[in-house]
Amino acid sequence: MARKRKGEPIHGWIVLDKPEGMGSTQALSKVRRLLNADKGGHGGTLDPLASGILPIALGEATKTVSYAMDGAKTYRFGVRWGERTTTDDREGPVVERSDVRPSDEAIRAALPAFLGDIDQVPPQFSAIKIDGERAYDIAREGGTVELATRRVRIDRFDLVERPDDDHALFEVDCGKGTYVRSLARDLAVALGTVGHVHLLRRLRVGPFTLDGAISLDELATLEQGAAVERLLLPIETALDDIPALALTEAEAHRLRHGQTVALLTRQDRERLEALRGAAAGDGTVIALFGGKPVALARVEGAEVRPVRVLNL
């Protein structure tokens, strides 16, 4: 007996402006309930402390979540100087204090050292696994957490506002795996003090921005059909950096059935040459037929191999 579907088959992306005080999984569940969607995932976890962009993948868009998570991100965050916490944000108890308050000039002078590829130690309260256990579970139980340094990329780091001596507001453009809490902690140390993140808002994840984002309260006021029609972005939105390969009907049929497509004619070779200059480092492309996505595929020589078939 076939399993009864829990919800409607909805395929695409919703750009959610997540509120503070709610976890990413909780926010995803609420979106699915409001839209009666049968399947969903999200493109990058936001802590309950944080607000802002949480891309929600529905249906077959869940097969492209990893590409959204790999995208560059923009954050606006506030640092509270003079207090170090166990969590490197306002949710943990204060464990160290300092009377030093950096000047605007000192802050701006310190920022260039954090640009480019830098080494960063994640916060003890993070979801990284150590011998199968989450670091935050070990830390909560009073255990010692030793996390390896990781390489992250910072493309922009600006001082935006200085409300008072105790606080500063920043914006940062960064790559995958960057911990803003670690950035705030390390900047404070470089300035001869201590500090923690007291507010955090994500402004961008890859192609997903606050333009067109919707809050849960706004989403709840819309009828399901109207919400889907107005807000749903195409599956390929998360793949804006991946080149597209147009297929014939016969080629699309083969890829949909998990079969390799051979491109051997002169016209095929011209298609391949156009792709090679733009394809991702591993040769990944989004294969389309009639303007609709068929599969994520990989070009290997003169062959196109399906990686993730999109059942639309």
Domain ranges within the chain, ordered by starting residue: 12-71+207-238, 73-205, 242-309
Question: Which two tokens mark 136?
Answer: 């935050």
Model confidence at 127, in pLDDT bands (50, 70, 90)?
low
| First and final C-alpha spacing in the chain | 23
- The pLDDT score that the predictor gives to residue 228 is 83
The dotted CATH code for 12-71+207-238 is 3.30.2350.10
254/267: higher pLDDT:
254
- The pLDDT score that the predictor gives to residue 144 is 63
311/203: higher pLDDT:
203
Please state which of the ranges 69-73, 168-172, 188-192 shows the lowest mean pLDDT. 69-73
Please state which of the ranges 4-18, 116-130, 151-165, 209-223 shows the lowest mean pLDDT. 116-130
User: What does the DSSP 8-state code read for residue 41?
Assistant: E
The residue annotated as part of the active site, out of 47, 88, 173, 186, is: 47
34/266: higher pLDDT:
34
Which position has the token pair 């949480």? 54
Average pLDDT value over all residues in the chain = 88
List CB contacts of 265: < 8 A, sequence separation 6 or more: none
CA distances from 228 to 9, 10, 25, 32, 54 (A): 11, 8, 20, 11, 17
Domain 242-309 has CATH 3.30.70.100: no
Per the CB < 8 A criterion, the answer to whether 291 and 279 are in contact is: no
Cα–Cα distance measured from residue 132 to residue 124, given in angstroms and rounded to the nearest whole number: 15
Domain 73-205 top-level CATH class: alpha beta
- Please compute the mean of the pLDDT values over residues 209-226 and round it to a whole number: 89
Q: Is 73-205 the same fold as 12-71+207-238?
A: yes
Verify whether residue 119 is a known catalytic residue. no
- The pLDDT score that the predictor gives to residue 279 is 52
Give 198's Cβ-side CA count (13 Å radius).
14
Model confidence at 1, in pLDDT bands (50, 70, 90)?
very low
Model confidence at 216, in pLDDT bands (50, 70, 90)?
very high
